[in-house]
């Protein structure tokens, strides 16, 4: 894993964790955690840690996480996996309603 990939991955993980923490519903929080688990599962054990994200709104967090997951495709992650992750993220977002 090169540094650029690691930075993107750290971004994905950090923003997903922030989304899970700020989720409005229990189901959405569980779904965000599952996306995070799936990202970790794809990369094995050699992944960077989570950095605390300043308090943005959930929309911003979602957009950044979405873009970062899309960016994973540029670092050798296969497209199908990226699409599945994006789908899982959208499912979580759909449940994240007050």
Residues that bind another protein (CB under 8 A): 1-3, 5-7, 10, 13, 17, 20-21, 26, 29-30, 33-34, 36-37, 40-41, 45-51
- DSSP 8-state secondary structure symbol assigned to residue 75: G
- Closest by alpha carbon to 92, among 34, 13, 37? 34
49 or 98: whose CB is closer to another protein?
49
- DSSP 8-state secondary structure symbol assigned to residue 73: G
Taking CA atoms, 34 is separated from 1, 13, 54, 74, 90, in Å, by 23, 11, 22, 23, 12
- Tell the smallest beta-carbon distance from residue 62 to another protein (Å): 18
- Token pair 């296969």 is found at 78
Tell me the C-alpha distance between 19 and 22, whole Å.
5
8 or 93: whose CB is closer to another protein?
8
- Tell the smallest beta-carbon distance from residue 56 to another protein (Å): 18
36 or 64: whose CB is closer to another protein?
36
- Tell the smallest beta-carbon distance from residue 52 to another protein (Å): 9
């Amino acid at each position: 894993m090169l540094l650029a990939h690691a930075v993107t991955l750290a971004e994905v993980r950090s923003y997903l964790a922030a989304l899970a923490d700020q989720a409005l519903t229990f189901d959405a929080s569980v779904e965000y955690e599952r996306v995070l688990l799936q990202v970790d599962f794809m990369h094995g054990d050699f992944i960077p840690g989570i950095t605390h994200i300043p308090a943005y709104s959930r929309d911003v967090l979602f957009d950044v996480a979405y873009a970062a997951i899309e960016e994973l495709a540029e670092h050798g992650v296969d497209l199908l996996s990226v699409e599945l992750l994006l789908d899982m993220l959208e499912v979580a977002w759909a449940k994240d309603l007050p």
